[in-house]
Amino acid sequence: MSAPTFRQAVEQWIAAEPAVRSAVLFGSSAAVATTPMADAWSDLDLHITTTEPERMEHMDWPRVLPGSGFRFQAVRPATGGVRKVTAVFAAGQIDLVVVPLRQLRLARFGLRLGLARRHERLRTALDEIQTCLRGGYRFLKGEGEWGSFYARVAAEMPGVRLGDAAAVALADMAVADRLWILQKLERGELAAAQHLLHHSLAETNFRLLRELRLRRGQPLPSFGLGRHVERLLSAEELAWVRVDARCEAGDLQRATEQAAAGLQALMRELVGSAWRSPEGR
């Protein structure tokens, strides 16, 4: 089954499934007209509102999409207090953000009353939705009931952002983790050092870079950290976030120092003289 036929089959299932009350396509597949980032590897990212979230997590995919070559699925927690189902087929991949209908109705009610300004949990959930929608979205089902809600979220919520204080806190933690990495390298604990280099320093730099691009008004064609950076960044900017190291002491030390230099550069761009590395204070 070709990719267009697979997409059509998914849309036909959504249209016929009564438990799916709304379905919003977002990400690169929804923004083909405005971004060149969608390609043959692009999956179908869907925000699903449903009356039966548990059934969505245990869907009989070979029956629902026969002939698509179902291989496996995985269910994991997603940001905003919901669940994400990834279903992989020979013909393509679906990522479903599964939102219980009652939960989305409460979010809509809270948005109408302006409660997002006072309730952190609601604000976080709405910001997560806005971040997904930023690159473009399209309704496959339920626009009559939910179109105005999604439009308000896309227009009014800032999305997932980092204020200066949050950026400084992240940078301070990354500096502490850099010292921990160097200690592990001294002890010969290379795998532990490698893990933290990626998990902390690289992760922090990607988050700071994302915020920097948002502040500059630069494009973010994908909501995932690190997506398409090879096409978007200059060589200097790419060096701020890229990790190039084998699990050997010399490589890991050089990569750690490069990540620390990237951290310094990103923080200069974000907050200027409001932050200096704790080691230099």
Q: Residue-wise pLDDT tens for the chain (281 aa)?
A: 445 588 899 999 999 999 999 999 987 676 544 444 444 445 889 999 999 999 999 999 999 999 899 999 999 998 777 999 999 999 999 999 999 999 999 999 999 999 988 899 899 999 999 988 888 899 999 999 999 999 999 999 999 899 999 999 999 999 999 999 999 999 999 999 999 999 999 999 999 999 999 999 887 755 566 777 888 888 999 999 999 999 999 999 999 999 999 999 999 999 998 898 876 55
The whole-model pTM stands at 0.82
pLDDT of 256 reads 97
Outline where 25-100 has alpha helix (H). Answer: 53-57, 61-64
**73 in Cβ contact with 61 (< 8 Å):** yes
The pLDDT score that the predictor gives to residue 31 is 57
- Lookup: tokens for 168: 């400084």
Measured in residues, the chain has a length of 281
260 CB contacts (<8 Å, ≥6 apart)? 174, 175, 178, 201, 277
- Angle at alpha carbon of residue 200, lines to 194 and 204, rounded to 5°: 135
For CATH 1.20.120, the residue range(s) in the chain are 164-280
Give per-residue pLDDT as tens, 232-275: 888 999 999 999 999 999 999 999 999 999 999 999 999 998 89
Supply φ then ψ for residue 53, to 5 degrees.
-60, -35
Alpha-carbon distance 84 to 81, whole Å?
A: 10
The tens digit of pLDDT for each residue in 104-125 reads 999 999 999 999 888 998 999 9
Q: Which residues pair with 99 in a beta bridge?
A: 49
| pLDDT, position 222 | 59
The CATH 3.30.460.10 portion of the chain extends over: 3-156
DSSP reduced 3-state for 87: strand
- Which three-class secondary structure state does DSSP give residue 84? strand
Tell me the fold of 3-156.
Answer: Beta Polymerase; domain 2 (3.30.460)
Write out the two tokens for 184.
């592990």
Query: Closest Cα to residue 103, out of 80, 74, 120?
Result: 80
Return the CATH architecture of domain 164-280.
Up-down Bundle (1.20)
